[in-house]
Structure 1
């Protein structure tokens, strides 16, 4: 190994040694631009071609070479009769500088290629996860390849702990929740839906729906509007539900409705994609609300991560328009 190469090896590899920062200064060290100009000029044996590669004028390259020679205290090139050749010192130095620049390029590219991954846990209801989030989430994933996404399903907000999630999407009647920030997305509107063939395109009055098979969500927490509540808001007090299918999963209720097994309650925005694609139709023009809304939520007692903030902003952007 030459003296020059030993010097570059020490400069480039000292980060692997257990040496205090003050024990070895990076000196003498010429300007990087001068080293780049020298390496290209040594490779082409031409200041003009080196300048073309570096997007510099010939005179600019010549000045950088002169600056480097002055810094080193020795000549690197012999200039004669419009030709350029390396001096013995220049030949040795060119090999070492080339090796140093290649290593610098390699470690820089390696560092830039590393993706610092972020973990993001999102919580929402089963209906939202299947019918609203799943069709849209691809755009967030494509725009955030550094985020590892985890989705946990909870059918009401009280079933999820702030320690479990980063961002939530939930139906709330009261947005004042201790330990939680909330941002309103859209209001609730609940209406009957069924398959296009179940009623052959007819829309029924609320009282007429009582003769249909009603798909009922079993909700122990009473977080969601029930058929009894919906009929009461439609002006029918304590109606008797003649024929029902009771299910404890809202996505399954929707699947039963799309297969013509009865009439289900649909929530706006959640069920809209199925209406738009014709899998479901409204079974009545009547609708009801318990005064609640859908909110994006996030814990207030810990710092919000950049990934959580990006997801929250993405959710809000998705709900600006219907």
Structure 2
């Protein structure tokens, strides 16, 4: 994963300070590309522990076309909680303590963080126990899964981009149209978070499947390690269904940034030496990407450094 560490170094050395919608501030570069040969190991970051189970459950959530955090919360995956929680605390239904800029405030105020944690516990409980509440505040709008599996077409019809992709890879592997897009201008304003990893293209050569992702916005410390692992896994799953080997994952970044309150954490990573990459293990009894469950996907030989905590900017 030296490619990832080189990205961190490049931003630190060449990035410019920019403001952002969260008010946190970033150091940013525009236009950067990394390439990962998936035959040489699964690209899961070793310079800090990355929760692979969360990568798996989120990707399967996308694949199933789901857009409600209830499914993730029930799987003990909380990486989308803040955006649904924000929807609740900004609504007229919320009558608790002021949660304005709760992410940034909690990162700098331990006492306030306890208040946020308490409200988040209430939110989780309501999401799980109250279907009406989950429908209203758990749904994130037409985010990734909706666009991948139910892109709105003509006359009320929907387009299953993922199913179409797989069929085309099987029947016309040399096509230059193996594309899935999550960026839908007609619906982007309805999404809790407009798609950061917004456009992907697949490519078949010499019996190997490669994927290139264009990511418009890349939170390099917290998000990008997850994105690398997620799309590497996605490539493996599609390759398995299409009876192909894996080639490369090519990660093209638009605005690649390190939040200013993540700089110390990045420095900690840069002082660590990458370790051997783990191996991905898929249930050999499952053939279709639509059949996989979390327990069907695992890694072996993962020996990372300890996790490094950092606040998320919402």
Please say whether Structure 1 and Structure 2 have the same fold, judged by a TM-score greater than 0.5: no
Tell me the TM-score normalised to structure 1 length: 0.21
Q: Which has the higher contact order (CA 8 A, sep 6+)?
A: 2
- Which protein shows a greater Rg? 1
